[in-house]
Amino acid sequence: MTDNNIFKGKKAAYFTLGCKLNFAETSTFAEMLEKRGVVAAAKGEQADLCLINTCSVTEVADHKCRQQIHKMVRNNPGAFVVVTGCYAQLEPERIAAIEGVDLVLGSNEKADLMQYLSDAWTEKSGADCGEGRGTIISENLHRHHSVKTKEIKSFAPSCSRGNRTRYFLKVQDGCNYYCTYCTIPYARGNSRNPSVESLVAQAREVAERGGKEIVLTGVNIGDFGQTTGETFLELVKALDKVEGIERYRISSIEPNLLTDELIEYCAGSRAFMPHFHIPLQSGSDEVLRLMHRRYDTALFRRKIELVKLLMPDAFIGVDVMVGCRGETPECFEECYEFIKSLDVQQLHVFPYSERPGTAALKIHYVVEDKEKKERSHRLLELSDLKTEAFYKGFIGREMHVLMEKAPKGRAMHGFTDNYVRVEIPAGIAKDEYDNEILKVRLSGFNSDKTALMAELLP
Ligand code: SF4
């Protein structure tokens, strides 16, 4: 049992690297600690507890995680330091050996973070767990708990707002796909999910707290149902009925799991927005085959065409990985031309990074870093052209925007249902617009071309 009083009055500092899922999980940990009396340390203030939620998507991510751990240890002398997340699962011993680290928790242990933390905290603090700083008396524990990938079974529920207007509801974790370049299945384990019923209950709670928009997050969301035998479409239909939630977005869904039925349902749904994020990774069939992706370019094109047929205003974001092993110049040109021909609105471009233990390392053809940079650059330019052209099509249109909090005296931003970013000038922005859906008429681009300016309509 957790002794809820041991954390009372303590100050905590949090740091998250990686995906939306990690951010949502960190916010949930922060909420749990808050309920036990922990307050977030202000900027520059020393913390009693440091929690770092790591990522291991690239070599750079691993390096950043280590840097951040060292930095937090340095800036918070004597603090209890706990590290979790994907990098913690993959390299627990290396992280536990870092001077100043007390506790490392792998993916399976994350669900019981509070229990592990309270046990280790009590141990480190000795019998005296009184109030205030200075109760920590022993050396760093350097303890780690993590099971093998196959044994990762737990699901750490998470639904949090963080400091944004939108809520992030974790509906699924893990992945069974084992794409050749990816370490996520090793770090997060097999695909698993809670029941539709429990997720609907979480969405109802969000509505009770006044939340209007929920982003469904997960690692491979479309694979929902491996634990409960339910389907992602069933989840979507059930969530659509939750009163008070006016907008849902699906953070990312594999193209082969974005079924025609799901697209058709979203097109006629009450609250699922015309906004999709679909990982393509490559527009070359040869590269898709080397990556062990479960679709080809023909399937991808069909999905985009169906979305646009049923939701012509839909915003579609696409992930692309450049410079992976096997991507010859010819393959890249094929990829570029394929993407250019697609009616998609934004590209999220990631340069390939070699990951230890992945099957991609057996492919001989290697792309130089300089070439990866050039390919990324070309795709990012293409992305800008596509986004700009899409935004231009909405100038003069009346749309609804969910406004987001902004510091006093600054312009406010928000998104339309189809994910066009909108700006309201500081002169007419008001605090009470935060989390409100406003009717606006869109005009030209803002000064840095990241949003369309809007005029409020009655
Ligand atoms: S679908 Fe592929 S890329 Fe995505 S998490 Fe699973 S293995 Fe990684």
What percentage of the chain carries pLDDT values higher than 70? 96
Q: Which atom of ligand 1 is nearest to the CA of 188?
A: 5
> Pocket of ligand 1, candidates 184, 258, 321: which has the most ligand atoms within 8 Å of its Cβ, to mutate?
184
Instruction: Provide the 8-state DSSP code for 367.
Output: -
Taking 80 as the threshold, does the pLDDT of residue 217 lie above it? Answer: yes
| CATH, residue 74 | 3.40.50
In a domain, 423, yes or no: yes
List the single range of 96-105, 147-156, 368-377 with lowest mean pLDDT.
147-156
In a domain, 281, yes or no: yes
In a domain, 252, yes or no: yes
210 lies in the same domain as 335: yes
> Pocket of ligand 1, candidates 55, 220, 282, 291: which has the most ligand atoms within 8 Å of its Cβ, to mutate?
220
In a domain, 136, yes or no: yes
In a domain, 418, yes or no: yes
352 lies in the same domain as 205: yes
Q: How far apart are CA 183 and CA 90, in angstroms?
A: 9
143 lies in the same domain as 276: no
Please tell me the total number of residues recorded for the chain in this structure. 458
The residue out of 150, 172, 204 marking a domain boundary is 150
Please give the angle made by the CA atoms of 282, 300 and 361, to the nearest 5 degrees.
30
207 lies in the same domain as 349: yes
Taking 70 as the threshold, does the pLDDT of residue 405 lie above it? Answer: yes
Mean pLDDT computed over 315-325: 98
Q: Which atom of ligand 1 is nearest to the CA of 183?
A: 8
199 lies in the same domain as 95: no
Is 220 a pocket residue for ligand 1 (Cβ < 6 Å)? yes
Name the residue with the closest Cα to ligand 1, atom 1: 177
Q: What is the pLDDT of residues 408-423, one digit of tens each?
A: 889 999 999 999 999 9
The residue out of 331, 361, 388 marking a domain boundary is 388
Q: What is the pLDDT of residues 219-262, one digit of tens each?
A: 999 999 999 999 999 999 999 999 999 999 999 999 999 999 99
Is 178 a pocket residue for ligand 1 (Cβ < 6 Å)? yes
256 lies in the same domain as 325: yes
Is the torsion defined by CA of 64, 38, 30, 164 positive or negative?
Answer: negative
> Pocket of ligand 1, candidates 19, 177, 257: which has the most ligand atoms within 8 Å of its Cβ, to mutate?
177
Q: Which atom of ligand 1 is nearest to the CA of 219?
A: 5
Gap from CA of 454 to ligand 1 centroid (Å): 38
The residue out of 103, 129, 150 marking a domain boundary is 150
Is residue 49 within 8 A of residue 6, CB to CB? The reply is no
Is 252 a pocket residue for ligand 1 (Cβ < 6 Å)? no
- Identify the residue with better confidence: 132 or 1: 1
38 lies in the same domain as 55: yes
Confidence bin at 162 (pLDDT 50/70/90): low
List CB contacts of 5: < 8 A, sequence separation 6 or more.
36, 37, 129
Mean pLDDT computed over 170-184: 96
Please give the angle made by the CA atoms of 218, 223 and 228, to the nearest 5 degrees.
95
Mean predicted lDDT score pLDDT of the chain? 93
List CB contacts of 33: < 8 A, sequence separation 6 or more.
7, 12, 49, 114
Nearest C-alpha neighbor of 15 from the set 67, 90, 57:
67
Is residue 339 within 8 A of residue 347, CB to CB? The reply is yes
Gap from CA of 97 to ligand 1 centroid (Å): 29
Nearest C-alpha neighbor of 425 from the set 445, 413, 411:
411
Q: Give me 251's structure tokens.
A: 């953070």
Q: What share of the chain is helix, strand, coil (3-state, %, to 5)?
A: 40, 20, 40
136 lies in the same domain as 44: yes
Is residue 413 within 8 A of residue 454, CB to CB? The reply is no
Is residue 173 within 8 A of residue 219, CB to CB? The reply is yes
Name the residue with the closest Cα to ligand 1, atom 8: 182
321 lies in the same domain as 287: yes
Gap from CA of 180 to ligand 1 centroid (Å): 9
Confidence bin at 138 (pLDDT 50/70/90): low
193 lies in the same domain as 309: yes
Question: pTM of the prediction?
Answer: 0.92
In a domain, 425, yes or no: yes
Neighbour count for residue 51 (Cβ, 10 Å) = 26
Gap from CA of 445 to ligand 1 centroid (Å): 36
265 lies in the same domain as 338: yes
pLDDT of residue 129: 44
| CATH, residue 293 | 3.80.30.20
Straight-line distance from the first to the last Cα atom of the chain, in angstroms, rounded to the nearest whole number: 55
In a domain, 393, yes or no: no
Count of structural domains within the chain: 3
Gap from CA of 275 to ligand 1 centroid (Å): 21
List the single range of 27-41, 133-147, 234-248 with lowest mean pLDDT.
133-147
List the single range of 86-90, 109-113, 144-148, 365-369 with lowest mean pLDDT.
144-148
Gap from CA of 136 to ligand 1 centroid (Å): 41
Q: How far apart are CA 350 and CA 376, in angstroms?
A: 7
Mean pLDDT computed over 311-328: 98
Mean pLDDT computed over 120-136: 60
pLDDT of residue 188: 94
Q: What is the pLDDT of residues 322-364, one digit of tens each?
A: 999 999 999 999 999 999 999 999 999 999 999 999 999 999 9
Host H or E run for residue 438: strand 437-445
pLDDT of residue 127: 42
Is 291 a pocket residue for ligand 1 (Cβ < 6 Å)? no
Neighbour count for residue 362 (Cβ, 10 Å) = 9
In a domain, 236, yes or no: yes
| CATH, residue 433 | 2.40.50
Is 175 a pocket residue for ligand 1 (Cβ < 6 Å)? yes
Confidence bin at 3 (pLDDT 50/70/90): low
Gap from CA of 30 to ligand 1 centroid (Å): 28
In which domain, by residue range, is 106 found?
A: 4-150
Q: Give me 283's structure tokens.
A: 């527009």
Gap from CA of 175 to ligand 1 centroid (Å): 6
Q: How far apart are CA 449 and CA 426, in angstroms?
A: 17
323 lies in the same domain as 418: no
